[in-house]
Chains A and B, each alone.
Chain A
């Protein structure tokens, strides 16, 4: 299957600092990538849809000034958590949309980034 790489896998930072997470599609081009947040023992909640060359689309309740998304190329999207606070500690997962044959539209996921804000 298609491979999506996410980096870093784990980051610890001090409150008030900013953290950047990268999501790369390694063997396919992705015009659309997605950023999810997952709390312990809960499912994935979509935060925003990242569109190459245009602004991201944020889900209701997600602060776009806090979670900055940049999708500058067909293989890279970044999520920057600005002025991180302990309540931002979570597991962040990205996915990239793969268009295969007729009707094939599958999201492949990165390995996730565990963010711990002290």
Chain B
């Protein structure tokens, strides 16, 4: 059965801390891995990863994919309260279908 597993499911840290969110997957016909941030409603797109070992970076956020070990990590440095959200990892299977993980609920305390 295809599955995407995220850990931890919940994380509470102080502002300024660095966090690492994990995503492992077992999905047939892997095409790419995507990270989304979901605050109150719509998930917003963060990164799409297709190749191993190439870090994608956007400000304080960065992500990398390991296709041999079947996992990805999302790093957030110098966290801010605005980073509080649910972070979703999804794997694109075949042409279009996305398989989502359960999400990691990140809470940044001031």
Which A residues have a C-beta under 8 Å from some C-beta of B? 1, 4, 6, 9, 32, 34, 41-46, 49, 93, 97, 103-112
Residues on A with C-beta less than 8 A from B98 are: 34, 44, 46, 107
A93→B96 contact, CB < 8 A = no
Q: Top 8 closest A-B pairs, CB basis?
A: A111-B41, A111-B42, A43-B100, A109-B42, A44-B100, A109-B43, A112-B41, A43-B102
On chain B, the residues within 8 Å of A6 by CB distance are 42
> Which residues in B have their C-beta under 8 angstroms from that of A44?
43, 88, 90, 98, 100
Enumerate chain A residues within 8 angstroms of B92, measured Cβ to Cβ. Answer: 105
**Given A42-B102, A106-B48: A93 and B97 interface contact (C-beta under 8 Å):** no
User: Footprint of A on B, CB under 8 Å?
Assistant: 31-32, 34, 36, 41-45, 48, 50, 88, 90, 92, 96-103, 105
Q: What is the CA–CA distance of A46 and B94 in the complex, to the nearest angstrom?
A: 14
Q: How far is the CA of A106 from the CA of B99 in the complex (A)?
A: 13
Q: Which residues on B sit within 8 Å (CB–CB) of A49?
A: 96-97
With known contacts A42-B102, A111-B42, A32–B96 Cβ distance under 8 A: yes
Which residue from chain A places its CB closest to the CB of B48 in the assembled complex? Answer: A106
- The answer to whether B42 and A103 touch across the interface, beta carbons within 8 angstroms, is no
Closest to A113 in B: B41
Q: How far apart are the CA atoms of A6 and B43 in the complex, in Å?
A: 13
Choose from B41, B45, B102 the contact partner of A108 (Cβ within 8 Å): B45
Are B100 and A106 neighbours in the complex by a CB distance under 8 Å? no
Inside 8 A of B43's CB, which chain A residues have their CB?
44, 93, 109
